[in-house]
Structure 1
Amino acid sequence: MNAQPDAAPVPLEPSEVVAALWRDAGLPAEALAHLKLDGAEPVLPSSFAVGTAAQASLGAAALAAAALWHSRTGRWQDVSVDMRHAITEFRSERYLRVDGGPAPELWDKLAGIYRCGDGRWVRLHTNFPHHRDGVVRLLGCANDKAAVQAALEKRDAEAFETAASDAGLVVAALRSFEEWDRHPQAAALRGLPPVTLERIGDAPPQPLPAPASADAQPLSGVRVLDFTRIIAGPVAGRTLAAHGADVLLVTASHLPSIPPLVIDTGRGKRSCQLDLRDPDDKRTLHKLLHGADVMVQGYRPGGLAELGVGPEAAARARPGIVYVSLSAYGHVGPWSHKRGFDSLVQTATGFNDAEAQAAGSDMPRPLPAQVLDHAAGYLLAFGAMAALHRRAVEGGSWHVRVSLAQVGQWLRGLGRVPDGLKAPEQKIDDVSDLLEAVPSGFGMLTVVRHAAHLSETPARWTLPSEPLGTHAPEWLPRG
C-alpha cells in the first residue's frame, strides 16, 4: 500500500491492508471475498501493529495461492488466518526445539547495541564470522564485548556506520523516525509499495496446467530456485514449498550459515551445493535455470548479476522467469547497494528509537520479533505468486522486488497500537497448541505449524529439513 509513514493513528483493519497489497499487485478483486481474518491487536508487546503485519502478509500469500488454484481448477477455496497464530509463525525460530532441547545458538556474542563516544548508539551484526572479524579489525580491538564497547567509545556513531559500510560490514547507527525521514534513502523509497512487480521481458502466457493428481496443491509442478539465507528469503521459499512448489535451495560449502535458521526454514525444500565460481557448477546452474519458474535471491545487491545470473540475464536465458529479489534498503537511492539485516534496518530507520520512546526508556528497544524479515518473506512469496498469475494471463518475464526498508515503511503506515506495550510476552508454553513435532535430518523438531488455512489444499511440507547440500542439483519430475 502507498500510505505515508504514520498515516494511521490506530491500526488499519487487516482486511484493508490485504486489499491494498492485492490491488497494487494487479490481482483479481473477487478473491478477497474468500479470505477470513480473525483476532485483534495487540498480540505482542509493541506499539506497532506487528500482528496486523503478520496476518496481512501471511494472508496475502495464502490468498495468492488460492488464486493460482482457481486459475488451475476454476474453483475458489476459503482462506483463513488467525492473528495470534500468524505472529507466532513470525517468531518461528524462537520456538524451534531439536530433540526436545534448545536449538543451536542464533546470536554471536558481539552482536547487539553499543553506545558510541558521541552519545549515540550503533548496532552490530556479527553472526557471520567474516562480519565479526571485520568489525574487530576495523575497531582494532579484541574479540570481546567489553573491548568492542571501549573501542566504540572513541568513535562517532554515524562515522563508524559509514566506515563499516565502506568495508563491506553490517553496522547501523540508531536514528529517530524524524532523522530517517530526512535521510536521502528514505526520500528515495517514499511512496513505493512494499512489493513491486515489473515486467522485464517478453514471453507468451504460461498458464499452470490442471492438477495432475488428487493431492495436488496450488504450486504443484512449479520449480523454485532458492538463493537465500538467514530469514526473509528462506521464509519465502518455505512458504512456496508449503503450497506445493519444488523448492531447490542452492548454497555453497564456502558460504556461512546460521544452523537454527537452516533447520527452521528448510522444511519442504531440497538443498544442493553449487560454487558459482566453478565453470562446471555454473553450467549446472544454467541447466537448472532453464527448467525453473521462479528464482528467489537475497544476496548482496548485484552479487548474482556479477556471476551472470542477474534478472535481465535470467530473463534472456529463461523467458517467462519470475525473478524475485530481496534487499536491505531498496533498489533505488544512495543506500541501494548497502548490506543489512532486520535488526540493523530496525535501528537505522527509527523503529528502535520509536519503540523506546513509547516504553519511556532511554535504551533502544527492538520490535518483539524479526518483523521486517518475516513480513518480507511472506511478501516475497506473495509477489512470486502474483507474478505467476500475471505470467499466466499476460505472459512476460517478471522481476519482483521487496526490501526490508520498504517493509518498514509499510509497517509504519499500518498505524500504532495504543497501550500495545502492555500486551503479555509470548512464551513457548503459551503457544504449545500451535506447535507440532516433525522428523528431520537434524533430529525430531518442534516447529510452528503454518498459520494459513486453505479449505481445499491445506498447506503442508512434504519434505523434512535436511543438512545443507543433501540433495543433487536437479529438478524433480513435474507433478
Structure 2
Amino acid sequence: MGLWTNQTDLTDLTDLTDLTDLTEEGGVTEENMVEGRIHELAAEVRVELPSVRCTGDDPVLPSVFRVGTAAAVAVGAATAAAAALLGKTRKAAVDEAREVVVDMREAAVAFRDERYFRIDGATGELWAALSGDYRTANGWIRLHCNFDHHRDAVLAALGLPAGADRDAVAQACAGRTAVEIEESVTAAEGCAAAMRSRAEWRGHPQARVVAESPLIDLTRIDDTGPVRPGDEGPMRMRPLGGVRVLDLTRVLAGPVATRFLAAHGAQVLRVGAEHLPEVPGLVISTAFGKRSCRLDLRTPAGAAALRDLVAGADVFVQSYRPGALEALGFGPRELAALRPGIVCVDISAYGSRGPWAGRRGFDSLVQMACGIAHEGGGGSRPRPLPAQVLDHATGYLAAFGAMAALLRRPVEGGSWRVRLSLARTAQWLDGFGRVDGAGTPDPDVSDLMEEMDSAFGRLAYLRPPGTIDGASPYWSSPPPGQGEHPPAWW
C-alpha cells in the first residue's frame, strides 16, 4: 500500500511539545512516529511514497531535542522519494518499490558528517576566530565571521578597527544590548543573532510569517512545461540517473541537498564564482559526486553561460538571499522560460516574506533567534544543537521537495518551485517534542565510515544514509577542485 493509506496518522500530535511520556507508555513508538511524520510530508507535497522502516531510537545525540527522530524523518522521506522515482523509471507501481530503511543513528550522525570528515587523517577548521557567542549587557549575541566581509561588517558595527581580536569584540559587546548589536551588524551587511527564548521568538513579526508558511512550499510555476525527456524513458539503474541538477548554493543546506541527489545518481554541476568566499573544508566535504565550474553572473559572459546550462537542466537549486537571483535575471519564471518543466529549489534563512526575508542567516544564527540555543542552555547561556541540524534537515527536505516535483511533473506537467527556510525547519523540529538526552554520549561511527582517494589526498567520510532494497546510495566520484570543470553538461 502507498504511504498515504498504510501509515499511522499523527496529525493530532503535531502541536505537542513533549512526546516522551507517550513513547514510553507505548502510545506512540519511535518507529511509527517517524512513519507518521513521513506521511505528513508526503501529504503536504501531494506525492505517494513507499513505506519506510525505521530502526533505532532517540536519543542518539546529546540534546533534549529529538534530533535523531527529525533526522530519520528527513532522510527517510528523501530516500522514499528516490525509491519512488526508481519505481517510476522501471515502470513499476509505487507499491512494488524496493524496501526503504532508515537507521536513526546513521541519519543523526549524517547531520554532522562534517565533524567526521578527514583529509589524510586531518580535520579542517570550521569556525573563524571571531565567530561565536558573546555576552551582552542584557543577554547573548552570536556573531558569524567565517567570511572576511562578514567579519569586517561586525567590526565596523562595533566600532572596532580591522584586526581587532576576540577580547576586543567581547568588550565591545558587553556594553551594548543584544538586539542593538544584532540590528547594527545587520545594517552593516553582516550576520548576527540575539539569543531569544521560544516565547520571544513566537512574538516576533517574522516568526508569525514563518509559522503561516508550509514546511516545504511546493507550487507549480506554470502549466506550459512538457513532460521532460527521460521521465517515462528506458530503465535506469539509479533513481536519479539522467537528471541534471544545477547547484548554486553554499554553506550548508543547499550543498547537502545536491550531494544527496548526486548520491542517487543525479548529474550535479556546482556553479561557484571566484569572488564568492567559501569555507574550504565544507566545500570539499559537500562536493562528493559533483562537478564544479565558476561563473561570474554579474558579467554578460557569465550570465549567458548559465542560461545555456539552465536550458539543459532538470533541477536548479539556489540559496542566494530572496530576490538576489531575480535581480540578475534568473528568477523562477525566467528559468521556466529557458527550460519548461524545470524544478526550482529556493533555500533561505528566514523565508521569502516578512520583515526578515532579506536577512542573511546561517544555522547557528537561526538557532539563536528561534529559541533553540536558549532552551538548550536552560536560558542562562546559549547551547546549540549537537549538529547543524537546521542546515542538514533543510538540505534533506529540499532534496525530498525536488524529487516530489519530479514525481508530479510527468503527471501534471508544468515547471515547479520548492521553497524552504531554516526558520521554518526550526519550527518543525520544535514540534517533535523533547527527550531526556542531554547526557547522551557521542555515538561510535566507525562502521559508517568509508575512504576514497582524491586530488586533495585520502578522504575519510560518512557514507550517505538510508537504503533501498538493502543497497546504500553512493558517490561515483571524489570532490573536484573548485572550478575544475567547464560550464557544460556531460
Q: Same fold (TM over 0.5)?
A: yes
| Structure 1 residues 298-329: Cα deviation after superposition (integer angstroms, max 9, x where no partner) | 01221111111111211122111100000000
Counterpart amino acid of residue 390 in structure 2: L
Matched, 1:295 2:316: yes
**Mapped partners of 1:164, 1:353: distance in 2:** 21
Aligned partner of 1:399 among 384, 403, 417 = 417
Matched, 1:328 2:344: no
Counterpart amino acid of residue 132 in structure 1: R
**Mapped partners of 1:174, 1:32: distance in 2:** 41
Aligned partner of 1:125 among 144, 147, 157 = 144
Structure 1 pair 5/454, CA: closer, same or farther in 2 (3 Å)? closer
**1:375-394 equivalences in 2 (<5 Å):** 375-394=393-412
Counterpart amino acid of residue 81 in structure 2: A
1:40 match: 57
**1:105-124 equivalences in 2 (<5 Å):** 105-117=125-137, 119-124=138-143
1:446 match: 460
Counterpart amino acid of residue 481 in structure 2: P
**1:347-426 equivalences in 2 (<5 Å):** 347-357=368-378, 362-417=380-435, 419-426=436-443
**1:193-272 equivalences in 2 (<5 Å):** 193-202=214-223, 203-206=225-228, 208-209=230-231, 216-272=237-293
1:9 match: 18
| Contact 1:5 1:413 (C-alpha < 8 Å) held by counterparts | yes
Structure 1 pair 310/4, CA: closer, same or farther in 2 (3 Å)? farther
| Contact 2:82 2:403 (C-alpha < 8 Å) held by counterparts | yes
In the superposition, the TM-score normalised over structure 1's length comes to 0.93
1:58 match: 75
Counterpart amino acid of residue 366 in structure 1: P
Structure 1 pair 183/209, CA: closer, same or farther in 2 (3 Å)? closer
2:24 match: none
| Structure 1 residues 310-366: Cα deviation after superposition (integer angstroms, max 9, x where no partner) | 112111221111000000001222111111000000000000011112xxx722110
Counterpart amino acid of residue 46 in structure 1: S
Instruction: Report deviation, 1:48.
Output: 0.5
Larger RCO: Structure 1 or Structure 2 (Cα < 8 Å, ≥ 6 residues apart)?
Answer: 1
Instruction: Report deviation, 1:206.
Output: 3.4
| Contact 1:195 1:379 (C-alpha < 8 Å) held by counterparts | yes
Q: CA RMSD in A?
A: 1.7
Instruction: Report deviation, 1:154.
Output: 2.1
Q: Alignment identity in percent? A: 49
Aligned partner of 1:68 among 80, 85, 88 = 85
| Structure 1 residues 154-198: Cα deviation after superposition (integer angstroms, max 9, x where no partner) | 211112211221222110000000000000111112143321101
Q: How many matched pairs?
A: 463
**Mapped partners of 1:3, 1:265: distance in 2:** 37
Report the 3-state secondary structure (helix = DSSP H, G, I; strand = E; otherwise coil) of the residue aligned with 2:474: coil
Instruction: Report deviation, 1:377.
Output: 0.5
**Mapped partners of 2:352, 2:222: distance in 1:** 19
Matched, 1:432 2:446: yes
Uncovered stretches (5+) of structure 2, i.e. residues with no partner? 1-9, 21-29
**Mapped partners of 1:175, 1:464: distance in 2:** 41
| Contact 2:50 2:83 (C-alpha < 8 Å) held by counterparts | no
Matched, 1:164 2:182: no
**1:144-163 equivalences in 2 (<5 Å):** 144-163=165-184
Structure 1 pair 456/291, CA: closer, same or farther in 2 (3 Å)? farther
Q: Runs (4+) of structure 1 moved beyond 3 Å?
A: 1-6, 205-214
Report the 3-state secondary structure (helix = DSSP H, G, I; strand = E; otherwise coil) of the residue aligned with 2:322: coil
Report the 3-state secondary structure (helix = DSSP H, G, I; strand = E; otherwise coil) of the residue aligned with 1:101: coil
Report the 3-state secondary structure (helix = DSSP H, G, I; strand = E; otherwise coil) of the residue aligned with 1:467: coil
**Mapped partners of 1:304, 1:4: distance in 2:** 39
Report the 3-state secondary structure (helix = DSSP H, G, I; strand = E; otherwise coil) of the residue aligned with 2:377: helix
**Mapped partners of 1:70, 1:185: distance in 2:** 40
Instruction: Report deviation, 1:65.
Output: 0.6
1:469 match: 483
| Contact 1:10 1:416 (C-alpha < 8 Å) held by counterparts | yes
1:341 match: 362
| Structure 1 residues 133-155: Cα deviation after superposition (integer angstroms, max 9, x where no partner) | 11112212242100001111221
| Contact 2:248 2:272 (C-alpha < 8 Å) held by counterparts | yes
In the superposition, the TM-score normalised over structure 2's length comes to 0.91
